[in-house]
Structure 1
Amino acid sequence: MDYEYDLFISYAHIDDRSPFGQEKGWIDLLHERLSVLVSQALGNEVKIWRDGHNLQGNDVLSGAIGEGVTRSLLLVPVISPRYVQSDWCNREMEAFHAAAPPPAAAGPGFRSRVFKVVKTPLPEHLKNLEPGHIRNLIGYQFYGGDESSGLLREFSPDTTDKHYWAMLYRLVADIKQTLIELKYPSGALASSTPSTSTLSHAAAPAANVSHANAAAAPTPNGARVSPPSKFVYLAETTSDLTNERELVRDELRQRGYGVLPEQKLPLDSLEALSKDVRADLARSALSVHLVGIKYGSTPEDDARSVVRVQEELAAERGAADSGFQRLLWMPPGLATPALEVSDARQKTFVAELQTRVAAGSELLQTSIEDLKTRVVEKMAPPAKATARTDRRSKLKQVYLICENRDRALVRPIKQYLFKHKFEVITWLDGDANAAANLMDYHRKNLRECDAALIYFGSGDEPWVRKNLEDLEKAYGYGREDDWCASAVYVGSPSNEQKEDFLTHMVPYVIRNFDSFNPDDLSEFVNAVESAEGGQS
């Protein structure tokens, strides 16, 4: 059977009534806007079927409407309290499900052909009436919490409601991508005016074929679009970070990556939750975990939050596979007075994450834009090695870590290293204005600098130990090479704690409580210069 339509909009007619008596209702506007925006995104007109008649529950699903349901590539059900109670809407859903190809030919293996639009949240007593085929789909929620009242409210289709339009554009982007993958499979000929009817059930791309091995598919304009070559496990998070998660998801989807999980995670048991999470992690090259101030939901038989369970299972996957990577993100200032965590369970979880960054994982506490950038960097193929002919590429970078109070004391050290043609990058720890905003800068330097020199001046031994631990954590932040040299410079003012200081964590411990003597740094400098690529 051939497909004649791109989309079938399934809805309850009561949901198209405008509470303001306007001529166009919510569904009218959705239909109109999907038609325009998806057509513009694809470069050709999309064909949308939508029933405009009021039918009774005992009417037969046949004729034009039945043809519309069964001959549509994608289904867009508009979920509402009325929708789930409508026999007619349920028949449309059943008809689409029955007519859809079997799983082996259903299209993209990570994505449903049903785009669930949730117009109005379902009351608790109606949730079990939602059709089973779509109950676990995450969907597109056109409602949210009202900031003033705290109550849930529908997004307004008015042109001024930014939440409505953000969700609509997300829906459009996903529909566009799925139509491209379904209508222009590998080997198809590009056409400026493609017909939906050219795709039959037999021609639909197989869902169990890995997109990593699939050839690029031509778009309506002849350009080839690569289906997702890798999957990212974007862990479910708490309500305070829903918007941030959606921004990361959109970035990945727009770049052609598959984003998992596609369905809601089960909460009835830890076993069911773990099974689903492990299955999706096994398909993913990277997991991303957003951790905020809330602890979140827990499985019915376990006290750990879903956020924590996902993180622990991802760590388990990383321990078994060195190629698997993890990114953990927290809002800047989390667990400080600026963004205080009140739940004791979450306090413990956040503290653990901030102190145990394992190999293959990276913790960011910076803007969401920085997280998006880092995720894309992680998923990008490694750059090919090139000859190091550029003068700047040969410069060795020395990371000079000190307290802000010791700025004047480290100046001679910095100048001496600079004369040896090292690029000296200084981290002034203890700068109140920099602490919250520049932690990602600190981690970037830990990843990229060739050598590190910790100045033990105004700080105490715990401060030094913390920075020594950071040198080890650098590998968890994404560092690939060993430090070509690392040292602790124990300088003035002198005290008993400094005189007793010993460590095996760095090869060089330099003591000088008097004025700077260049000879003190000779071994450190020689080690940096003799490393591959250094300048002598």
Structure 2
Amino acid sequence: MSTPSLITEQGFTGGFPVDLFISYGHIDNQANWITHLHSALQTRLQELLGTDQIVIWRDVKLNGLDLLWDTIRPKVTGSALFLSVLSPRYVSSDSCRQEVDCFVEAAERDNRWRSDTQSRLIRVVKTRLAEGVQQPLSFDATLGYEFYQTDDQNPDIFYEFGSQEGRPRFDNFAERVNVLAQTVARALLKFRQAKRATKPNVRTIFLSPTTRDLEQYRLSIQSELVGRGHNVIPTVPLPYTAAELVSTIESLLANADVSVQLIGRNYGLIPEEETRSLGELSYDLTLAQGARINFHQLIWIPEDLQNPENAQQTFITKLRGTQDEPAVSGKADVFETSFESFKEGVLDVLSQKLEVPPIPVAIKTKAVYLLCDQPDLKEEQLRKIKAYLRSYGYPVEVPVFQGDPEELRMMEEELILDTDAALIYYGTAKDLWVMRKRKSILKVLSSRPKGRNYTRALYLATPKDDIKAANYLAVSDHNYLEIMGFSPLLLLGDCEDFGPEKITPFIQLLEKEQ
């Protein structure tokens, strides 16, 4: 953990002495909540970025005493990102506000206030603020990460996430830290990469509130969109009463290009003076935007959704029916798929909406074909590999599973020809499937002019079995010889949990050929 005496001259970004400054009120660390957040964030960032050279700084307030401002100020102004832990104490603290104002002024002064439209300010809300309490104005357009949950039956009651294993809602704390760390990692990578490609066509996405059972999915897609430079709204909690809620959502939708809504099994909270849940109200208000040119309404229902509440089942039937209404034809798209398929559908819509073709520039353009057996689509390891490759800027294609055998064969051949590397994910699939994929790749590459320069790798995921051990794990140099004239198949992984370092050789091979 970083302390004042351990600050290095350069952080991970290479352009700032400090990667992340944590600003907080001393009262909020009485039970070591801030200390645990700092430690968990540091560990996860090291895992995501593959280095221990991550500089996170905060005033550790030993013996309850603040450092002198002359000591703190250079750390504030020299930070790439600024994380505030909001609480009633924080918003009433003059010293905390001084830190925020100092960071904003310094960032505006050197024209680095925003990195690809993603604010350098990050807002963690430890304790919900009372209605009417004003947070620093600088956070009005900043995404927040709430470390508490509101009671389903009584919106006046909330529960904070415990920061220690064994404490109530610790799993929520760990999940939220993971999402926060991924957002921070993307931002730090953007600063680290010196080259700036043409600024992307930024879109504003209204990410509708959802029920607690889908909150982790909402945070995941929020992190993905923000990491790609898009604006995600709302950035502050919505009001509770119907009149204010309707007005606020309508205003947000008027400024949005796309609406994304996740539908789960629970009907959710019903706002005061309303008969509809927050989810159904958001849907109805979004539906009214259907006449707008270029507006898209995207809805996800989990493909394995079971036993929805009666009111929720009625709502699901309603939204399925309105797809075919003329007023919203081509506007409301309902995805009853896996979550990853839905996310890719959202990204496809955002890319299709670009009206001006991008100007060709010398940027990283290599694409990776990530092969997997259909049952492995749900595996966490596969999702992590895909996310990690994308965090390095590599487009990732996955197989198509629906269609007749000949169509699927032709599509796989096309995917191999359109990409620069193939990574076979060997999880629960049979060894016959792996052999067929290895041979099909080589067969396609044999007819390709530059096929022998194509990068090929096999990732050994869980579960470990005798076949994997005998055929692949026994190869000590991780190079599996195949057809003469082709480079060896690179072997990755060890049939254990995923870690970024396990596909580092694959990344290095791609970078070498860049």
How high is the TM-score relative to the length of structure 2?
Answer: 0.53
Q: 1:273 touches 1:299 (CA, 8 Å); kept in 2?
A: no
In structure 2, relative to structure 1, the CA distance for the partners of 1:211 and 1:370 (3 Å cut) is closer
Query: SS where residue 356 of structure 1 aligns?
Result: helix
Provide the aligned length of Structure 1 versus Structure 2. 331
In structure 2, relative to structure 1, the CA distance for the partners of 1:49 and 1:244 (3 Å cut) is closer
- Matched with 1:211 is 200
Q: Does 1:352 align with 2:360?
A: no
Spell out the pairing of 1:54-65 with structure 2 (5 A cutoff): 62-65=69-72
In structure 2, relative to structure 1, the CA distance for the partners of 1:139 and 1:394 (3 Å cut) is closer
- Matched with 1:234 is 207
- Matched with 2:28 is 15
Query: How much does 1:166 deviate?
Result: 1.0
Q: Does 1:48 align with 2:37?
A: no
2:193 to 178, 181, 184: 184
Q: Distance in 2 between matches of 1:38 and 1:146?
A: 31
2:138 to 133, 142, 162: 133
2:163 to 147, 157, 182: 157
In structure 2, relative to structure 1, the CA distance for the partners of 1:299 and 1:6 (3 Å cut) is farther
Query: How much does 1:13 deviate?
Result: 1.8
CA RMSD of aligned residues (A): 4.4
Q: 1:107 touches 1:181 (CA, 8 Å); kept in 2?
A: no
Q: 2:151 touches 2:158 (CA, 8 Å); kept in 1?
A: yes
Query: SS where residue 328 of structure 1 aligns?
Result: strand
Q: Distance in 1 between matches of 2:153 and 2:315?
A: 30
- Matched with 2:124 is 117
Q: Distance in 1 between matches of 2:280 and 2:80?
A: 38
- Matched with 1:95 is 102
Q: Distance in 1 between matches of 2:196 and 2:214?
A: 41
Q: Does 1:248 align with 2:221?
A: yes
Q: Does 1:144 align with 2:114?
A: no
1:449-502, Cα deviation, whole Å (9 max, x unpaired): xxxxxxxxxxxxxxxxxxxxxxxxxxxxxxxxxxxxxxxxxxxxxxxxxxxxxx
Q: 2:123 touches 2:139 (CA, 8 Å); kept in 1?
A: yes
1:318-366, Cα deviation, whole Å (9 max, x unpaired): 4333x554322346798x9x32344xxx787555322110422322456
Query: SS where residue 100 of structure 1 aligns?
Result: helix
Instruction: Give unmatched runs, 5+ long, in structure 1.
Output: 19-24, 189-208, 213-228, 384-389, 396-536
- Matched with 1:69 is 76
Query: How much does 1:171 deviate?
Result: 1.0
The amino acid of 1:47's aligned partner reads: V
- Matched with 1:26 is 33
In structure 2, relative to structure 1, the CA distance for the partners of 1:238 and 1:271 (3 Å cut) is same
Q: Distance in 2 between matches of 1:99 and 1:139?
A: 22
Q: 2:21 touches 2:58 (CA, 8 Å); kept in 1?
A: yes
Spell out the pairing of 1:114-513 with structure 2 (5 A cutoff): 114-122=121-129, 124=130, 128-134=133-139, 137-144=142-149, 152-159=158-165, 161-187=170-196, 210-212=199-201, 232-239=205-212, 241-250=214-223, 252=225, 256=228, 258=230, 260-261=232-233, 263-264=235-236, 267=239, 268=244, 270-281=246-257, 286-291=258-263, 293-294=266-267, 296=269, 307=279, 310-312=282-284, 314-315=286-287, 317-321=289-293, 324-330=295-301, 338-342=307-311, 350-357=316-323, 358-360=328-330, 361-365=332-336, 368=339, 371-372=342-343, 374-376=345-347, 378=349, 392-393=406-407
Q: 2:303 touches 2:338 (CA, 8 Å); kept in 1?
A: yes
- Matched with 2:498 is none
Q: 2:267 touches 2:277 (CA, 8 Å); kept in 1?
A: no
In structure 2, relative to structure 1, the CA distance for the partners of 1:275 and 1:102 (3 Å cut) is farther
- Matched with 1:198 is none
Query: How much does 1:167 deviate?
Result: 0.9
Q: Distance in 1 between matches of 2:162 and 2:206?
A: 31
1:194-233, Cα deviation, whole Å (9 max, x unpaired): xxxxxxxxxxxxxxx8423xxxxxxxxxxxxxxxx76654
Q: Distance in 2 between matches of 1:364 and 1:340?
A: 20
Q: 2:122 touches 2:143 (CA, 8 Å); kept in 1?
A: no
In structure 2, relative to structure 1, the CA distance for the partners of 1:71 and 1:291 (3 Å cut) is same
Q: Distance in 2 between matches of 1:103 and 1:5?
A: 16
Q: 2:303 touches 2:337 (CA, 8 Å); kept in 1?
A: yes
Q: 1:6 touches 1:48 (CA, 8 Å); kept in 2?
A: yes
Q: Distance in 1 between matches of 2:299 and 2:110?
A: 34
1:49-86, Cα deviation, whole Å (9 max, x unpaired): 211336999x9973111222222221111122322232
- Matched with 1:217 is none
The amino acid of 1:166's aligned partner reads: E
Query: How much does 1:174 deviate?
Result: 0.6
Q: 1:137 touches 1:262 (CA, 8 Å); kept in 2?
A: no
Query: How much does 1:305 deviate?
Result: 6.6
Q: 1:299 touches 1:306 (CA, 8 Å); kept in 2?
A: no
Q: 1:234 touches 1:261 (CA, 8 Å); kept in 2?
A: yes
- Matched with 1:485 is none
Q: 1:16 touches 1:26 (CA, 8 Å); kept in 2?
A: yes
Query: How much does 1:298 deviate?
Result: 5.8
Q: Distance in 2 between matches of 1:80 and 1:248?
A: 26
Query: How much does 1:90 deviate?
Result: 2.0
Instruction: Give unmatched runs, 5+ long, in structure 2.
Output: 1-14, 354-396, 398-403, 410-514
The amino acid of 2:118's aligned partner reads: R
Q: Distance in 2 between matches of 1:354 and 1:73?
A: 45
Q: Distance in 1 between matches of 2:29 and 2:42?
A: 17
Q: 1:111 touches 1:262 (CA, 8 Å); kept in 2?
A: no
Query: SS where residue 276 of structure 1 aligns?
Result: helix
- Matched with 1:85 is 92
Query: How much does 1:41 deviate?
Result: 2.6
How high is the TM-score relative to the length of structure 1?
Answer: 0.51
Q: 2:249 touches 2:285 (CA, 8 Å); kept in 1?
A: no
